[in-house]
Amino acid sequence: MGTGLLYLAAYHQYGLTLYSFGWYIALPVLIAIAFIDVEHRIIPDSLNAALAVAGLVMLLSGYGTTITSRVIGIFSVSVPFLIVAMVSKGGAMGGGDIKLVAASGLCLGWQMNLIAVFIGSLVGSVAMIISMMRGKANRKSQVPFGPWLSLGIVISGLFGSYISILF
């Protein structure tokens, strides 16, 4: 039911277009990423590749942001994430997260990708604080970032035009 509602939101936002078809590919991929990362603490490369294919479909549609913004989007978040992963020796950021934000950069462009990461970080931080207050986690607990990034990508992609007005 959740995927159907997201498909409806994509249709409402973008109509029956090649661009919305890209979202019809991306949405179930992002849902799968969220559940797999929670359960197994991994984001499969095949799902990140599928998200990149969705981004290519969105690019080919000619709708949305420019190719330049999409190329910058691939690197604008993934490179800082890669640096964090290298400095922390993989303790703070996993390779799947890096590839996820690269693929989402292709889908969203750099501006919306930054907003997606901000939303994912904010919601993930609030969820972690609540878990800590309930005694289910502590400051050293490892938390999968994929579900929160996926949520941020969906919100930014489907409702970003409303959000970007605020910035």
**Res. 167: pLDDT tops 80:** no
The confidence score (pLDDT) of residue 164 equals 66
Whether the pLDDT of residue 165 is over 80: the answer is no
pLDDT of residue 166: 64
Is residue 116 within 8 A of residue 149, CB to CB? The reply is yes
Q: Within its chain, how far is the Cα of 53 from the centroid?
A: 14
In the chain, the DSSP E strands lie at none
pLDDT at site 86: 94
The reported pLDDT for the residue numbered 137 is 84
Please give the pLDDT value at position 136: 87
pLDDT at 93: 86
Q: How sure is the predictor about 98, in pLDDT bands with cuts at 50, 70 and 90?
A: very high
44-59: per-residue pLDDT in tens? 999 999 999 999 999 9
Read off the pLDDT band of 24 (50, 70, 90). Answer: very high
Q: What is the predicted pLDDT for the residue at 92?
A: 82
Residue reference for tokens 């919100």: 155
Q: What is the DSSP string of 104-146?
A: HHHHH-HHHHHHHHHHHHHHHHHHHHHHHHTTS--TT----SH
Q: Where are the domains of the chain?
A: 2-166
- With cut-offs at 50, 70 and 90, classify the pLDDT of residue 160: confident
